[in-house]
Structure 1
Amino acid sequence: MSTIPDNNRPVIGISCGDLNGIGLELILKTISNSRLLEICTPVIFASNKAINFYRKALPENNLNFQSLKDFGRLNHKQVNVFNCWEEDVAITPGLLTEAGGKFAVISLTSAVQALKEGHIDGLVTAPINKKNTQGESFPFTGHTPYLKDAFNAREVLMLMVAPNMRVALLTEHVPVTAVGPFITKQNILSKLRLVEDSMRKDFGIDKPKIAVLGLNPHAGDEGLIGNEEEEIIKPAIKEFKQQGNSIVQGPFSADAFFARGYHERFDAVLAMYHDQGLIPFKSLAHGEGVNFTAGLPVVRTSPDHGTAFDIAGKNVADESSMFSAIFTCLDIIRQREEFIANRSNPLKKVSNRFLANAVDERIEEE
C-alpha cells in the first residue's frame, strides 16, 4: 500500500496518439506497472473501446481501469480512462488512416482542455503523424507549435532530455534548405534564454553550462565553409555571456562534439537544426530519450519517437521512452514546485543547499 496521500500524487494526462500507431500499446505496457500508481494518477484520453482493442492484443497485460466522463469521479487508486468519444472507430494497426489522425487530435485537444482547467497536473503525449493530423482544423506541424498556440506562449523550445544529455533545437520541423534564414542573432539569444530559464526552473541547475553548435561543417572553419559562425553565432554567444549568468561556449563542430563525448560536459546543447541535434541524441540516449516542451506554463513530455507504423500491433514496441516521458514529467512538476517555493522563501533554498552538502559529506565519510 502506498504511503503517499492521494491528494499529493500528480495527475498525469496521457493522449493516445495515432490509433493505428504504437502509442496505445506503449501506454498500456507502461501503466500496467502497478508501482506507477504509487507516485501518480494516470488518465488516458481515449475511449474504452480503443483501450480494450489493444488490451486484447497484449495477452500478458492485466490492466484494470476506471472509465470516466467527468473528473469528479477520478479514482487515485486506479488507471483512469477519460472517454473523449463514444462512436466505433475502425482500428487498423500499421495503416495511415484519416480516422487515426482525427481521433489523435480529439484525444490531444481534450487532454489540453483538462490541463487548462487544472484537472491534470502534466501531459504526456503519444506520437501523432503530420500527414493525417495537419489540416484546416489542426493547422500545426506537430505538438510543439500546437501547444505554443494553445497556451499563448511567447516562445517555446523543443528540448530533448535523456539521463546523459539534453539537446535543444533552434529550428524544429523546418526543411534543411529553409534553415538558413532562421539562423539569426535574435533567434539564438531567444533560445539560449529559454534553455537557461528551463535549466533553472525545470532541472534545478542554477548556473548551467550550455554548448552551442555551429551550422556548417567544422563550425565554418573560421569562415572558409560558411560565415554564419563568425557573423552571427559567435556574436550571439558573446552578447548572451554579457547578459546572462550561464557558462556558454561554442560554436562547436557538431560531429566532433558528440563523437568526443563533449555533450556530457554540458548541462544542455543548442543545435541549429533538427537532424543535427536529433541524430546524435537518438543514437546516444539508449532508448530513454524524452521530448520536453520548455517555455510553456504547463509540463508536457513525449517519447522521442514517432508512430512506428511498421511495428504497430505486433507487441514488439519498447516502452522505455514512454516510461521515461512519464517520470520526466513528474520530475519537472516537482522541480517547478520547488523552484516556486525557493523563490518565495530564499532561506529555504540556502537550507536545502546546506542539507545537500551535509549528505554528500556523510556519504564521503562512510
Structure 2
Amino acid sequence: MSCKKPVIAITMGDPAGSGPEIVLKALRDSSLFSNASFVVFGDYNVFRRAAEIVNATDLKLIKIDDVSEYVDSPLSVNIFDLNNVDVSKIVYGKPSVLGGRASYEAIAEAVKHALSNKVHAIVTAPISKESLNMAGYNYPGHTELLADLTGSKDVKMMLVANFFKVVHVTTHVSLKNAIELIKKENVLKTIRLTYKSLIELFGLNDPKIGVSGLNPHAGESGLFGDEEIKEIVPAIQEAASEGIKVTGPYPPDTIFYRAYYNRQFDSTIAMYHDQGHIAVKMVGFMEGVNLSLGLPIIRVSPDHGTVWGKAGKGTASEGATLEAIKLAIELASKKFGFNLK
C-alpha cells in the first residue's frame, strides 16, 4: 500500500450496542483526518442508522467494496460494507446471535486486512461477550479472539490512560484461576513483553517497569501468601539479569500511587484483571484504552463495554474511542514511518 498517512480500520462492534454511535461521534473530530484515513468494517445500514441517531450530518458515509477504494478527505467515513445485519431485527441493548456473528465478522475482516498491511492499525468498538458466545464464538474477550485470528501465543492486555500504563499477567479468568496462573514463567513473559512493547511501540529507551504483588502487603515476607516469594520475585530477578529495569513486587495498594503520582515507572504490571482495571478506571474512566501486546498487528480499543443502556439514544460518550483512535494513529505512524502533523 502506498499512502502518505496510515489507514486505520475501525470495527463495528455489536450492532445492538453503542459502538456504531460512538465511532461516528469520535470521527466528527476533523483534526483526526490530518494524520489518518479511516475504513470502518461493518454493515453500512447499521452506520447509516447510527448517523441519524447522533445527527452526524457533517460526516460523509461512503460505501466501499475494496479497501483500496477508500476516500481520503476530511470527515469522509469509508464503510467496508459486510452487508451482514438486518437492522429491523436488531433490538438495542440486547445480546443476540445476529449481533455476535456480525461483530465477529467485522473483526475477522479487519484482521485479515491488517495482516496483509492493507490497513495499518485496528480500533475495535465494543463487543458483547454474551452475543459472541451465543453465535458460537467461544472467546472470553477481544484479546483472546485476536490472538486466535493472528496465531499469536503470548498476548497481554495493556491499559493506557494518558501516560499511565498497566499490563496484566491474567485477565478474563475467575479470581481463583488467576491466582493459580501466577507462575514465574507467566510473570516473566509479561515483563519481557511489556519491556519489548514499551521500546518498539512507544519508542522508550530503557523503560522502567514496576511489578505489583498478588497478596496484601505483597505477601509480607510470606505471612499473607507465598506467591511473591515462590513465583513473582524469581521472575523479576531473572528479568533484571537480562538487563530489564524492573523492580518489585510492590504492595498492590501503593504501586499505582507510585506509578501515577510519582511517575516512578513507565508501566506497571498487575497480577489480575480488577487489580489493574480499577487503578486505570479511577484515573481515566472516560479516556482509558486497551492495547493488545504480542500481536503482529496494532490493535487498540476503548476500555469499556457496549453501554447497552445508552444504545440507540446517541448519548454514550465517545471519549475513550477518540483516545483509542489517537493512540492507533500514533503507534501506526511510528511502526510504518509516517510523519504526524
Tell me the TM-score range normalised by the shorter chain.
over 0.9
Number of the residue aligned with 2:77? 79
Structure 1 unmatched ranges of 5 or more: 1-5, 340-366
Number of the residue aligned with 1:50? 46
CA distance in 1, matches of 2:262, 2:304: 21
- Residue 228 of structure 1 and its aligned partner are, at CA, apart by 0.7
CA distance in 1, matches of 2:36, 2:172: 32
Deviations for 1:1-50, whole angstroms, at most 9, x for unmatched residues?
xxxxx921111110010111111110010112222222111111112211
1:38–1:259 CA distance, 2 compared to 1 (3 A) = closer
- Residue 112 of structure 1 and its aligned partner are, at CA, apart by 1.3
Which residues in structure 2 correspond to 1:202-217 (within 5 Å)?
202-217=201-216
1:202–1:263 CA distance, 2 compared to 1 (3 A) = farther
User: Does 63-72 or 265-274 show the bigger shift?
Assistant: 63-72
Query: How many residues are matched?
Result: 333
1:195–1:87 CA distance, 2 compared to 1 (3 A) = closer
**Secondary structure at the counterpart of residue 18 of structure 1:** coil
Number of the residue aligned with 1:357? none
Deviations for 1:268-314, whole angstroms, at most 9, x for unmatched residues?
00100000000111111242111001111110000000111122222
Contact 1:24/1:54, CA 8 A, preserved across alignment: yes
1:219–1:22 CA distance, 2 compared to 1 (3 A) = same
Contact 1:66/1:79, CA 8 A, preserved across alignment: yes
**Secondary structure at the counterpart of residue 126 of structure 2:** coil
State the structure with more CA Rg: 1
Number of the residue aligned with 2:251? 253
User: Does 155-164 or 59-68 show the bigger shift?
Assistant: 59-68
Contact 2:85/2:102, CA 8 A, preserved across alignment: no
1:52–1:76 CA distance, 2 compared to 1 (3 A) = same
Q: Report the TM-score when normalising by structure 1.
A: 0.87
CA distance in 2, matches of 1:142, 1:225: 32
AA partner of residue 250 (structure 1):
G
Q: Report the TM-score when normalising by structure 2.
A: 0.93
**Secondary structure at the counterpart of residue 12 of structure 1:** strand
Number of the residue aligned with 1:320? 319
**Secondary structure at the counterpart of residue 50 of structure 2:** helix
Number of the residue aligned with 2:4? 8
Contact 2:215/2:225, CA 8 A, preserved across alignment: yes
- Residue 98 of structure 1 and its aligned partner are, at CA, apart by 2.2
1:86–1:254 CA distance, 2 compared to 1 (3 A) = closer
Number of the residue aligned with 1:179? 178
**Secondary structure at the counterpart of residue 41 of structure 2:** strand
- Residue 142 of structure 1 and its aligned partner are, at CA, apart by 1.2
Contact 2:46/2:85, CA 8 A, preserved across alignment: no
Q: Report the identity percentage.
A: 35
Number of the residue aligned with 1:64? 60
User: Does 15-24 or 254-263 show the bigger shift?
Assistant: 254-263
Matched, 1:140 2:139: yes
Number of the residue aligned with 2:189? 190
CA distance in 2, matches of 1:263, 1:153: 35
User: Does 196-205 or 283-292 show the bigger shift?
Assistant: 283-292
CA distance in 2, matches of 1:235, 1:104: 41
User: Does 70-79 or 164-173 show the bigger shift?
Assistant: 70-79
Contact 2:101/2:135, CA 8 A, preserved across alignment: no
CA distance in 2, matches of 1:87, 1:173: 28
CA distance in 2, matches of 1:230, 1:35: 50
Which residues in structure 2 correspond to 1:298-313 (within 5 Å)?
298-313=297-312
Question: Structure 1 runs of 4+ off > 4 angstroms?
Answer: 259-263
Contact 1:37/1:79, CA 8 A, preserved across alignment: no
1:80–1:109 CA distance, 2 compared to 1 (3 A) = same
Deviations for 1:219-272, whole angstroms, at most 9, x for unmatched residues?
1111110011112111211111001x3321111111122246467221000100
CA distance in 2, matches of 1:262, 1:140: 36
AA partner of residue 292 (structure 1):
L
- Residue 75 of structure 1 and its aligned partner are, at CA, apart by 1.2
Contact 2:108/2:149, CA 8 A, preserved across alignment: no
- Residue 87 of structure 1 and its aligned partner are, at CA, apart by 5.3
Number of the residue aligned with 1:22? 18
Number of the residue aligned with 1:264? 263
**Secondary structure at the counterpart of residue 217 of structure 2:** helix
CA distance in 2, matches of 1:92, 1:56: 17
Which residues in structure 2 correspond to 1:142-161 (within 5 Å)?
142-161=141-160
Q: Relative contact order (alpha carbons < 8 A, sep ≥ 6): 1 or 2 greater?
A: 2
**Secondary structure at the counterpart of residue 264 of structure 1:** coil
Structure 2 unmatched ranges of 5 or more: none
1:52–1:338 CA distance, 2 compared to 1 (3 A) = closer
Contact 2:256/2:268, CA 8 A, preserved across alignment: no
- Residue 156 of structure 1 and its aligned partner are, at CA, apart by 1.2
In angstroms, what is the RMSD of aligned CA positions?
A: 1.8
- Residue 215 of structure 1 and its aligned partner are, at CA, apart by 0.5
